[in-house]
């Protein structure tokens, strides 16, 4: 019997084992042997903890108690910010044996880390997009072009590093990341030769890091693979396409998985908790902690730490000003807008790259979670907790893809549209601050406060350290900390990833049913259909059986929205196991319904709030408040439903 078959058999046999309390299915973990981490005792012990089927993340109450208790014994590091970088820092530090706390004003991945192009190359927007606990988020093809034709060895090193990091991300979260072919249309033979030669050089450089070989498709083959691709564009005929493979991810679930993995590794992570001021040593004026407000209860408490790491992304300047009100700004915010279109705009499993827009930017059109995502823009913006796309940016994207498609591109087809803020940084310690840094910046301007921010598609780093590693290394130096080992996160799979197989959904489909109430109130069994099973497998990995058990045993098997695979059971599971504390937490980050279809999310809200009310003991007032906040949140997603019409035109 093959190793894969053996794992599936163990999963299937475990699927029928139900615990006495709550009926959670215990999927037997498979501890993989990562060849790069083989024999490392710390990695192996952490792997056992993270993949223990009986292990659950500490409750939010326990996490808050751990932060409050830091007065008697200070934390080594307190992280401010729960995006990709902040959670990456927390996991890195915790797995080095340090005592770690993390606070996030809203929710994990609530900012830019959930608003990406969903590609694991980052292209133009590294720091805004989830790179988990690694940091080279690059479009290797464009870097390679600069490296070869510009004779830039630094760019070539960046290509090598980006390919390695992309490979590690996919390996460490295989249920949330996968390879995606991306097609570039060529309308003259020079483009065919130019792109084909560049991609073949890319294949050669990638070597073992390559996902799949690139290739050329004729015009006929291309339209068979991508039926909506136009044969003619701007008076030119399609000569063919070149296709290369990149990585795609579910960004906010990757970020939430990172936070939960950090929690299992020992970090005290707390969302909806805001730093209101810093605590300073009266003698040295060094920062020794922070005053924190629990935004759910309104209570405030002090958390003490030897070093504070500011990983607040676009909001890092406001955190810096708490330490020094005269601190010069180091963030130059940039807006990236994306839109979501129906699935028929692109075939499942093939993306489209528009290489030349009217202002020279690259635009992507990619299949994602059953719909099509298109973007992105790059324009200056102001910093706000809920950035909104404007109509010009949405129309720019629609116009960019219009010339490459043979179907009518309509504003009324936009199911959702959102904006994310990229925190481009200026190093406050640099002598020359005329240019914005495309690299990340790690700075300790004030004793005890290490700030990490920035990063962009032209990022180059001289070492193999990630953003998280750089920040933790700086914190160790600042606080004279004593880690038990070096960084090991590149060898550690996230929760739900170890032992996951693409065929896991078959176990779910065969072993579970979805119990649900009919219109008459009668509880009736329903099949665990393939769409729902695949969704659970990819969203929760090896923990999907626990969600399926809730659906089966607690009569929570109904879908939340017509046409989408999200189940009622997921709301309960996320409230119990993923720190889902609000309706917005669920529709935006635990599921992706708000990003996929704002109208569907709006219709699902009453049931989502009803389930969360049961899980968190909300009264009617709180439920009403949740509904209001969620509707205000959805209004910032400029779908065709939310946009304003006048005489048939959007205003």
Q: Can you tell me the distance from the alpha carbon of 344 to that of 109, in angstroms, rounded to the nearest whole number? A: 29
What was the pLDDT predicted at 467? 78
- DSSP letters, 439-475, are SEEEEEEETTEEEEEE--TT---SSS--HHHHHHHHH
What was the pLDDT predicted at 602? 97
What is the rounded average pLDDT of the residues 565-572? Answer: 98
Q: Can you tell me the distance from the alpha carbon of 211 to that of 188, in angstroms, rounded to the nearest whole number? A: 27
Q: Can you tell me the distance from the alpha carbon of 283 to that of 278, in angstroms, rounded to the nearest whole number? A: 15
Are 505 and 537 contacting, i.e. CB atoms less than 8 angstroms apart?
yes
Q: What percent of the residues of the chain are helix, what percent strand, and what percent coil, each to the nearest 5?
A: 40, 20, 40
What is the rounded average pLDDT of the residues 148-162? Answer: 60
Q: Can you tell me the distance from the alpha carbon of 235 to that of 271, in angstroms, rounded to the nearest whole number? A: 53
> Going along 69-194, which residue ranges are E strands?
75-80, 100-104, 177-186
Does some domain include residue 643? no
| Burial (Cβ within 10 Å: 0-12, 13-18, ≥19) of residue 220 | exposed
Which two tokens mark 9? 């058999």
CATH number of the domain that residue 551 is part of:
1.10.8.870
Does some domain include residue 276? yes
Are both 257 and 378 inside the same structural domain? no
Residue 24 has pLDDT above 50, yes or no: no
Tally of domains in the chain: 3
Which two tokens mark 10? 């163990």
Which band of pLDDT confidence, cut at 50, 70 and 90, is reported for residue 152?
Answer: low
Are both 339 and 221 inside the same structural domain? yes
Q: In residues, how long is the chain? A: 651
Are both 317 and 436 inside the same structural domain? yes
Beta-carbon contacts of 62 under 8 Å, excluding residues fewer than 6 positions away, are: none
Are both 199 and 267 inside the same structural domain? no
CATH number of the domain that residue 209 is part of:
3.30.9.10
Q: Can you tell me the distance from the alpha carbon of 80 to that of 274, in angstroms, rounded to the nearest whole number? A: 8
Are both 630 and 546 inside the same structural domain? yes
CA-closest candidate to residue 144, choices 96, 205, 66: 205
Q: Can you tell me the distance from the alpha carbon of 442 to that of 330, in angstroms, rounded to the nearest whole number? A: 11
**Distances from the Cα of 110 to the Cαs of 314, 369, 572, 584, in angstroms?**
12, 19, 20, 9
| Burial (Cβ within 10 Å: 0-12, 13-18, ≥19) of residue 5 | exposed
Are both 534 and 632 inside the same structural domain? yes
- pLDDT tens digits for range 540-556: 999 999 999 999 999 99
Q: What's the domain range around 383?
A: 172-248+332-424
CATH number of the domain that residue 317 is part of:
3.50.50.60
pTM for the structure as a whole: 0.87
Coil vs helix vs strand at 119: strand
Coil vs helix vs strand at 428: coil
Are both 236 and 336 inside the same structural domain? yes
Are both 397 and 449 inside the same structural domain? no
Which two tokens mark 220? 């006929």
Are both 322 and 339 inside the same structural domain? no
Helices 598-616 and 568-577, axial angle in degrees (round to 10): 50
Residue 122 has pLDDT above 80, yes or no: no
| Burial (Cβ within 10 Å: 0-12, 13-18, ≥19) of residue 33 | exposed
- pLDDT tens digits for range 66-99: 999 988 899 999 999 999 999 999 999 999 999 9
Residue 433 has pLDDT above 70, yes or no: no
Which two tokens mark 128? 């805004």
Are 350 and 226 contacting, i.e. CB atoms less than 8 angstroms apart?
yes
Are both 451 and 310 inside the same structural domain? yes
Lowest mean pLDDT among 438-447, 595-604, 614-623: 438-447
């Amino acid at each position: 019997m093959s190793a894969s078959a053996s794992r599936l058999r163990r999963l299937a046999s475990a699927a029928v084992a139900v615990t006495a309390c709550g009926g959670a299915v215990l999927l037997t973990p498979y501890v993989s042997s990562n060849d790069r981490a083989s024999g490392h005792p710390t990695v192996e012990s952490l792997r056992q903890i993270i993949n223990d089927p009986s292990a659950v993340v500490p409750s939010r109450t326990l996490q808050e108690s751990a932060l409050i208790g830091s007065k008697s014994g200070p934390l080594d590091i307190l992280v401010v910010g729960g995006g990709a970088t902040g959670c990456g820092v927390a996991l890195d530090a915790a797995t080095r044996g340090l005592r770690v706390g993390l606070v996030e004003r809203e929710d994990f991945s609530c900012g830019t880390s959930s608003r990406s192009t969903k590609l694991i190359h980052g292209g133009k927007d590294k720091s805004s997009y989830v790179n988990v606990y690694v940091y080279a988020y690059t479009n290797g093809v464009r870097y390679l072009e600069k490296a070869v034709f510009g004779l830039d060895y630094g760019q070539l090193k960046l290509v090598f590093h980006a390919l390695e990091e992309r490979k590690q991300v996919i390996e460490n979260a295989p249920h949330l990341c996968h390879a995606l072919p991306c097609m570039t249309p060529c309308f003259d033979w020079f483009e065919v030769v130019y792109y084909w030669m560049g991609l073949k050089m890319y294949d050669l450089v990638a070597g073992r890091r390559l996902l799949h070989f690139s290739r050329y498709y004729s015009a006929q083959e291309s339209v068979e693979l991508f039926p909506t691709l136009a044969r003619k564009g701007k008076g030119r005929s399609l000569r063919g396409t070149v296709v290369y493979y990149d990585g795609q991810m579910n960004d906010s679930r990757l970020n939430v998985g990172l936070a939960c993995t950090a929690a299992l590794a020992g970090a005290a992570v707390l969302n909806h908790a805001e730093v209101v001021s810093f605590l300073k040593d009266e003698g040295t004026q060094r920062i020794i902690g922070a005053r924190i407000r629990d935004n759910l209860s309104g209570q405030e408490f002090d958390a003490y730490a030897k070093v504070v790491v500011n990983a607040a992304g676009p909001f890092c300047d406001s955190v810096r000003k708490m330490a020094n009100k005269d601190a010069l700004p180091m963030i130059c915010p940039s807006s990236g807008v994306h839109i979501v279109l129906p699935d028929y705009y692109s075939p499942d499993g093939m993306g489209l790259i528009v290489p030349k827009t009217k202002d020279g930017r690259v635009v992507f059109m990619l299949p994602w979670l059953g719909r099509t995502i298109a973007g992105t823009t790059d324009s200056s913006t102001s910093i706000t907790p809920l950035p909104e796309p404007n109509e010009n940016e949405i129309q720019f994207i629609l116009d960019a893809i219009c010339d490459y498609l043979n179907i009518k591109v309509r504003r009324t087809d936009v199911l959702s549209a959102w904006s994310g803020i990229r925190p481009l940084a200026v190093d406050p310690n640099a002598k020359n601050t005329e240019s914005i840094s495309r690299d990340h910046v790690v700075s300790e301007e004030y004793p005890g406060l290490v700030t990490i921010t920035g990063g962009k598609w032209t990022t180059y780093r001289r070492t193999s350290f990630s953003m998280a590693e750089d920040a933790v290394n700086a914190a160790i130096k600042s606080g004279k900390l004593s880690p038990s080992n070096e960084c090991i996160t590149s060898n550690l799979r996230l929760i739900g990833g170890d032992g996951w197989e693409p065929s896991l959904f078959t176990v779910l489909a065969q072993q579970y049913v979805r119990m649900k109430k009919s219109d008459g109130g009668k509880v009736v069994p329903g099949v665990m259909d393939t769409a729902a099973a695949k969704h659970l497998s990819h969203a929760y990995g090896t923990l999907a059986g626990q969600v399926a058990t809730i659906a089966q045993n607690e009569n929570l098997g109904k879908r939340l929205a017509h046409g989408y695979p999200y189940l009622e059971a997921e709301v309960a599971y996320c409230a119990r196991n993923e720190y889902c504390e609000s309706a917005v937490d669920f529709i935006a980050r635990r599921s992706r319904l708000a990003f996929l279809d704002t109208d569907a999310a709006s219709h699902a809200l009453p049931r989502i709030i009803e389930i969360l009310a049961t899980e968190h003991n909300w009264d009617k007032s709180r439920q009403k408040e949740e509904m209001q906040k969620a509707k205000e949140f959805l209004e910032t997603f400029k779908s065709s439903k939310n946009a304003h019409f006048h005489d048939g035109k959007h205003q």
